Chains A and B, each alone.
Chain A
Amino acid sequence: AQTVTQSQPEMSVQEAETVTLSCTYDTSESDYYLFWYKQPPSRQMILVIRQEAYKQQNATENRFSVNFQKAAKSFSLKISDSQLGDAAMYFCAYRSRGNFGNEKLTFGTGTRLTIIP
């Protein structure tokens, strides 16, 4: 079974600075998807960014980018120019690509990000 580990329960960053959230995963599969979700105080789960394992290029979405190291099974999220609205719980998640039945997302335990004005 796959597991996802987020070793930083809490992080803080000064507004306008850059912060990196860590995520490692364990899998025997070669093809899969990785995601970062944001959960603000409203509790809504919001997809921030995704990465397909067969793509070597790191995904980027505006101020959000990932550092995907497949061999190391590492998938970190970098937030540039941090804004107050980025304050949230961030979850890393894994999904098998080959399973045509269950599209289960396996989540890490989350990192709570605080933005310091």
Chain B
Amino acid sequence: EAQVTQNPRYLITVTGKKLTVTCSQNMNHEYMSWYRQDPGLGLRQIYYSMNVEVTDKGDVPEGYKVSRKEKRNFPLILESPSPNQTSLYFCASSFGLGAYNEQFFGPGTRLTVL
């Protein structure tokens, strides 16, 4: 089954404790992206990747890191989480290359930083 998976689905942590949210897709997609969803703000892009080893900032990259060492994986890293990073996070992927390609979303990760 073609899908984007995220782990964990739920996470409660404390300020300053490094964490990684994993994202994996099995569709051989070139393009991957991370969004965060906050009430009243919709979804906002954090980082994106056009291909292996090619990543760039989105609209709200502060406090986040990403890597793309393999085509299928695009982990989101919070080196020192803070309470303002409490949010619902989505990973998305598509074939990219500029033409219309549907973006497939993962199931979301609910993160709470105390």
Chain A residues close to B by CB (< 8 Å): 4, 33, 42-45, 47, 50, 52, 91, 97-105, 107-110
CB pair B100–A43 under 8 Å, yes or no, is no
CA distance A23 to B56 in the complex (A): 29
Chain A contact residues: over half helix, strand or loop, or mixed?
Answer: loop
**In the bound complex, do residue A44 and residue B96 qualify as a contact, i.e. CB atoms below 8 Å apart?**
no
Q: Mark B79-102, 1 if CB is under 8 A from A, else 0.
A: 000000000101010101110111
Chain B contact residue count (CB 8 A cutoff): 29
Minimum C-beta distance from B106 to chain A (A) = 9
Chain B residues 20-45 with CB under 8 Å of chain A are 31, 33, 35, 40-45
Interface residues of B (CB under 8 A from A): 31, 33, 35, 40-45, 48, 50, 56, 58-59, 88, 90, 92, 94, 96-98, 100-103, 105, 107-108, 110
